[in-house]
Structure 1
Amino acid sequence: MTEILILINPNSGTHQLSELVSAADALSRSTSLCRIDTEVVQSVEHSQELTAAAAAKGYYAVVVIGGDGTANTVGSVLSGTDTALGIVPAGSGNGVARHIGMSMDIKKALRQILLSKVYDIDTLRVNGSFCLGVAGTGFEAAVAQSFSMKKKRGLISYSTVAITEFFKYTPSRIHLDIDGQTINRTPFTVAFANSSQWGNDFKIAPDASMTSGSMKLVIISDIDQISVMPCVYGLISGNINTIPNCETINASRVRIEKPGISYHIDGEPMPPQDSLEVEIRPSSLKILSPKKRAF
């Protein structure tokens, strides 16, 4: 019988743990097509151990009920295995889940899992670490760092942090090597996009595909209190790549040399480094999606 493991992150987003457990249990009782095991994870290490064990036993999928950070943790273990990643969005932004077509309703998303198709998708390697959706440096890294220290999650809390950081952040000059070609910029933010959005339908790379074999390098520059409004509208409307302040470049490998560079991976802040190297890893992870075609 097909086996699925559901991992619940009790610290993701604003949902109550009892609500998430109840939804997972209801799904398990509703189907005889597969056996569903459910675990509440206690730590990153715990989720990694449970995921590795499920993959070793040949489970069909490990489904996370959580946010992009939880999906990253589980996806990093499943990469290169035959066990698929499933995502039921319960985080603050849920960027990858939105990109692959998952409902934002927990119960509906769980039902989607049973009807989903397995796709082979690309991932990113960022300074040797796994990235599922979007990594970045500049303003977005500053926001990720500040948001990580907030106890309250959700869109309102994130927006408050972003507004505060907007008035504090000062861009600096960087040197980028893009597939062997060199450019210099003073960017407000730089995104390395495997999927289309940061989360909450803020689309930093609306044309990004997780099955294209390349990433979208998005560089946004010259942002001030006036030009930020068209930029925000572009993120919401999915037209950010049409504004003059935005460059979008297809790339396989990008390297930035800058001492003490800050960056994030799937919204999680990382320790500053003296350089940042990002490369695409084609068809390196299996994922469940309700979409009818590659995305």
Structure 2
Amino acid sequence: MALPLLFNPASGSTAKDPDVLLRALPKDLRTRVEPRPFGPPWDFEPHIAQASRAGGPLFVWGGDGTIHHAARALIEKGCPVPLAAIPGGSGNGLVRSLRTPLEPAGALQRLLEGRELRMDLPRLDGVPFLNLAGTGFEAAVAHRFHDLPGRGFRTYAKACWQLWRTWPDTALSWDADIASTPHDAGRLERLRAAFHASAPALPASAWSLCFANLPQYGSGLWIAPGADPTDGALQWATLARPSLVELLVDVPQLFREGGRTPLRHEGSLRAATLRLDRPLPWHLDGEPAPERDRAELTVEPRGFRMQVTGACPWN
């Protein structure tokens, strides 16, 4: 039985042609997958059942939103098979972080030859996400982007520009379990921790606030370089509103791995109750989520099965 390869024709800014995708594969791999168009209302159940009978994984070719919905469906079923994400959106933050090739045929081949990663499963008020959740400016942009016609980086940049000048900071209060070096860590890890600076204080206010399981937003923006999807923790990251000069000088650093900028601050936590000074919009993996002024963040260590390529830096 072939593995289902679900693709969302509406996601991303370029058309998806499954025949072209399969022609690029070696002959011995072409018969292992069966492309199927897919979209709302997101009934994944028959496809998960087929992937289980075929020995998994469930292949999903789409953007971060489509992949988010697939992950939630798998979680509801107890993760019977891994999720294999093929980039097909406008941002592709999840697959970029996992170092999956951005060319779809290359991604499909490498994932067919790949391995399973048990990655952490974070939740916002009980609702799971794989990559990022956030509030403030970034969530306002996610909501605006969702309502604008068209997709792609240009549309996202338009949403950012519309909100950049007017979005205010938000006051925050925390009850958090700060991540630190575990008691059973090896000698090398304890030595490294001893020479590191103390953990940064949780922010008292934020313009844009992110909780990251993986390091990248879409389009290659490194929002939380310290995020590790296997450490049982979430990386919090804030962005300060950039001035016009900082837009030119500092913002490009966010798009470079290893880039440094005073606009970004980050730290680590295992769980948190967060209170905001007013109800604000949120996002989950870039998908708009309801307003709230109180949020519970939790992490289930190694709670999700993800198919990755040999280039993935985590085991």
Matched residue, 1:294: 314
**TM-score in terms of structure 2 length:** 0.83
Give the drift of 1:184: 5.5
Matched residue, 1:92: 90
Matched residue, 1:166: 164
Matched residue, 1:50: 46
Give the drift of 1:42: 3.4
Matched residue, 2:36: 39
- Name the SS for the 2:165 alignment partner: helix
Question: In 1, are the aligned partners of 2:213 and 2:227 still within 8 Å (CA)?
Answer: yes
Q: How many angstroms apart in 1 are the aligned matches of 2:35 and 2:86? A: 13
Structure number with the higher strand fraction is: 1
Give the drift of 1:44: 3.8
Cα 1:123–1:199 shift into 2, 3 Å: same
Which residues in structure 2 correspond to 1:168-187 (within 5 Å)? 168-179=166-177, 183=202, 185-187=204-206
Matched residue, 1:196: 215
Give the aligned CA root-mean-square deviation in angstroms: 2.5
Give the drift of 1:56: 5.2
Q: How many angstroms apart in 1 are the aligned matches of 2:82 and 2:263? A: 38
Question: In 1, are the aligned partners of 2:48 and 2:58 still within 8 Å (CA)?
Answer: no
Identity %: 25
Which residues in structure 2 correspond to 1:110-121 (within 5 Å)? 110-121=108-119
Question: For structure 1, which segment, 216-225 or 158-167, has the greater mean C-alpha deviation from structure 2 after superposition?
Answer: 216-225
Question: For structure 1, which segment, 93-102 or 220-229, has the greater mean C-alpha deviation from structure 2 after superposition?
Answer: 220-229
Give the drift of 1:265: 0.5
- Picking from 233, 253, 263, the partner of 1:214 is 233
Q: How many angstroms apart in 2 are the aligned matches of 1:171 and 1:212? A: 30
Give the drift of 1:78: 2.2
Unaligned ranges ≥5, structure 1: none
Matched residue, 2:294: 275
Alignment coverage as a number of residue pairs: 290
Unaligned ranges ≥5, structure 2: 180-200
Matched residue, 1:139: 137
**TM-score in terms of structure 1 length:** 0.88
Flag the structure with larger Rg. Answer: 2
Spell out, residue by residue over 1:126-161, the C-alpha distance to the aligned partner (whole angstroms, 9 max, x if none).
Answer: 122110101111110010010001221011111121
Cα 1:229–1:282 shift into 2, 3 Å: farther
1:13 maps to 2:9: no
- Picking from 106, 128, 136, the partner of 1:108 is 106
Question: In 2, are the aligned partners of 1:9 and 1:66 still within 8 Å (CA)?
Answer: yes
Q: How many angstroms apart in 2 are the aligned matches of 1:255 and 1:223? A: 28
